[in-house]
Amino acid sequence: MTSADETPVRVGVFGLLGSGNLGNDGSLEAVLGYLRSEHPDASVDALCGGPEAVTAKFGIPATRLHWNRAEYRTASRASAIVSKGLGKLVDACRTAAWVRRHDVVIVPGMGVLEATLPLRPWGFPYSLFLLCASGRLLGTRVALVSVGAAGIKSRPTRALVRWSARLAAYRSYRDEQSRDAMRAMGVDTSRDEVYPDLAFSLPAPPSSAPAGTPGPVCLGVMDFHGGNDDRARAEEIYRRYLDGTITFVRALVEEGRPVRLLTGDQCDLSVVEAILGAVDSPLVTAAEPASLADLMNEMAAADTVVAVRYHNLICALKTGTPVLAVCYAAKSNALMDRMGLGAYCHPAREVDADRLLEQFRDLEKHAAEVRRTLTERNGVAAQQLAEQFTALTKTLFPAKTHAHALRKAS
């Protein structure tokens, strides 16, 4: 309980949360779990993409990230362009006012320092820069916690990302290559640590895969059109990915394998519909997961998982289910290496159904060994995240840490 003369710490969470991406919301869930466990008296609210969804799902007050509700729609008319420009100025004031009301702001995970998917500099990179600059100017500690980063070719985006990182009071990364990327972009990372993705701190259900073979296969799909530098080839990349995936599903169905299609973002539903339309079989069904917990429940019931989205991979790894990664960015390869499954990666830009099937069969052949490896690596990840939460308390809540030490000594 908070004493009468002690003001609750005001904590803000920030990001594209509540916008339909299950991985982003899973990172928020992990941080809220930490806050409710270690700082139950903290007053928590969000500045985010989908405030209504965040309030309904997590029970915290939330404010819309952008003044302009059409921020992520293409502006073609003059009035829409003017509205977007005005929105950038208004957002600068709104963000500063929101930051000022807090003692601490946490950016929970997510790939906020990368551009592995199509991204405009004046979208989220600008919003993150406003947050970190406001924090530095107003004395509010901003923490980038277990975030992803990658080298960025676009000069405006790179500059905004670099200055956002420099202005943050705390930085940690979800893999070594993220820290290396920020160092290469001119950020002093000598005090920055690497910890697992925050989703590894979420509870996982026990395996419920039915005995006997052939068992069910979960296939996590993605509306994949390449990265920020692939805009000219976006449709070609998408067709190659989709055609290879459909061929792979057909091969599994011919072997009598049930296939369960899973998404990680609302935009992935179009891929599910395309696969269901191309493979007419009762063996192919689709789930509608609303959280990482839903994804983990699906994957715990599967013999094997094949997935594209980063947090779909994490859900499979967390449940200890053998997983084959269709990698759209280097972060997926790094994750699989960290969990001892570096041999089971396949490029999303060059999906080869025959090679994918070959890797899939090899994975199933070594399923028992893979499950033992994942049990060990998940234990290590949980311990490392516990260490990070301890470090966060010391860095972001120094007054409370000091008070706790005094109470223990008395």
Based on the domain organization, do 162 and 306 belong to the same domain?
A: no
Average pLDDT score over residue span 14-38: 95
373: in domain: no
Q: Give the residue-averaged pLDDT of 66-77.
A: 62
Looking at the domain assignment, is residue 207 inside a domain? no
Domain check: are 32 and 137 in the same one?
A: yes
222 shares a domain with 198: no
26 belongs to a structural domain: yes
- Same domain for 310 and 165, yes or no, is no
DSSP code of 209? P
Q: Is residue 78 part of a domain?
A: yes
Q: What is the mean pLDDT of residues 309-334?
A: 96
CA gap 276, 249 in Å, rounded: 10
Kindly report, residue by residue over 256-307, the tens digit of the pLDDT. Answer: 999 999 999 999 999 999 999 999 999 999 999 999 999 999 999 999 999 9
Residues 172 and 27 in one domain: yes
| Per-residue pLDDT at 184 exceeds 80 | yes
In a domain, 211, yes or no: no
Same domain, 260 and 302: yes
The answer on 241 and 141 residing in a single domain is no
Tally of domains within the chain: 2
Which carries the bigger pLDDT value, residue 257 or residue 398? 257
Q: Looking at the structure, tell me whether residues 295 and 227 fall in a common domain.
A: yes
Same domain, 166 and 291: no
Domain that holds residue 359: 217-365
Q: How does 27-60 read in b/e, with b if 16+ C-beta sit within 10 Å?
A: bbbbbbebbeeebeebbbbbbbbbbebbbebbeb
| Tokens encoding 3 | 């004493």
Residues 120 and 184 in one domain: yes
Could you read off the pLDDT of 98-107 as tens digits, one per residue?
Answer: 999 999 999 9
Measure the CA–CA gap between 273 and 49, rounded to whole angstroms. 26
Tell whether 100 is covered by a domain: yes
Q: Is residue 208 part of a domain?
A: no
Let me know if residue 24 belongs to a domain: yes
Same domain, 114 and 47: yes
